[in-house]
Amino acid sequence: MKGKRWFFGTISITLVILVVMAAIMIDIDPYFHYHGPVEGRPYAMYGSGSYEKYYNDGIGKHFKYDAMITGSSVTENFKATQVEILWQCTAVKTCFAGGTLKEVDEHIKRSLAANDGVKMIIRGIDENKLLEDKDAMPWEPPTYLYDNNPFNDVNYLFNKDTWLTPLRRNFQMMKYDYISTNFDQYSNWSMSATFSKERTLNNYARPEKAAQKTELTPELLTQIQGNIEQNVAATVRDNPDVTFYYFLTPSSICQWDEWNQTGVLECQLVAERMLIEELLKYENVRLFGYSDRFDIITNLDNYMDVEHFSDEINDLLIGLMYAGEGRLTKDNYMEYINKISLYYMNYDYESIFTESRQNKAVEQVEGD
């Protein structure tokens, strides 16, 4: 009898604890899985990088906004307030460090399906993602937060890491009445970064020159087109009432050197043209290309590695898009393609490293 009482008592206590834990998690809801922010209660959006995969879905589904900024890590330093002032809107920022075209696009689709008030999407499209497989993903996302299956929510409600990090941080925010994380701060890493030519070159492992160029086979062309159709164009076509501000992110000249060294430079240029030609079919797209901003791309002090540019460039790009500068149209896009093709196919890439080698030689002599 005592054993039975002990058994049922233990089960009852365990269930009560689990219910209380679930209720706390649902109420605080640090990843906004069940609801958006509660009025009068501060909230924290902890960290960046992999944490974005946990926050972004809830932000897209449950926050009140009519404009979204999204893309990979090169879009993390955009300021939502700048977009709000220029376009007179309410903006959120939901970026994915290392995000592929598929990961970002699926997030946009889920967000639009949950929020019919969205009028504008600002999305950076990384050129180095265009040659990837259409189903490429950086790593396994927390899909239990993305679906509508209540049973797999146990992975969220009783997750040790969630209790120890974002939930605990939210309790601290409430205890000390801190101000909520805003979308200028969320995922922004610019304050901890150093942008310089020296750092960019130090972070660039230049590959050996390929023996031959990558051939533009029918299979590769089909792969590129499939990537564009599935992960960019389809969402545009399916949401004619949303205006998509899409721009090709300006990678540094080191990135172009890498493509030249590995023999894929011509493929990259063709992929860029294919993307542009596809997106220009749709009236609800405002497409921008900045690969011809050679003043930005060749100045390695604007970067910290081959692709990540400074927050000053983020600010500049938003201003350019608002002003309509760099916009590609059916009338001017071939001029743009020809301009960048001529430039990057004939660029003296060795000159990038000549000065650096000379400086190192001088430093070594002076050190001796």
DSSP string over 10-35: HHHHHHHHHHHHHHHHHHH-TT-SS-
Q: Which amino acid is at 358?
A: Q
Long-range pairs, 20-25, Cβ under 8 A, ≥24: 21/157, 21/158, 22/157, 22/158, 24/167, 25/156, 25/157, 25/158, 25/162, 25/163, 25/167
Q: List the structure tokens of 149.
A: 């299956």
Backbone angles phi, psi at 243, to 5 degrees: -95, 125
Per-residue confidence (pLDDT) for residue 364, from 0 to 100: 46
Q: Which of 275, 289, 230 is nearest to 108 (CA)?
A: 230
Per-residue confidence (pLDDT) for residue 140, from 0 to 100: 82
CA 251, CA 296: separation in Å to the nearest integer?
A: 9
C-beta separation of 267 from 260 below 8 A: no
- 147-198: per-residue pLDDT in tens? 989 999 999 999 999 999 999 999 999 999 999 999 999 999 999 999 999 9
Per-residue confidence (pLDDT) for residue 80, from 0 to 100: 98
CA 254, CA 248: separation in Å to the nearest integer?
A: 16
Per-residue confidence (pLDDT) for residue 13, from 0 to 100: 86
Q: Which of 59, 186, 66, 70 is nearest to 123 (CA)?
A: 70
Q: List the structure tokens of 328.
A: 């590609």
pTM listed for this prediction: 0.92
Alpha helices in the chain (DSSP H): 2-28, 52-62, 80-87, 101-114, 154-157, 160-162, 168-175, 197-202, 218-228, 234-238, 253-262, 265-279, 294-297, 311-323, 333-345, 351-367
CA 259, CA 268: separation in Å to the nearest integer?
A: 8
Residues of the chain where predicted confidence (pLDDT) is lower than 70: 1-3, 6-9, 47-48, 355-368
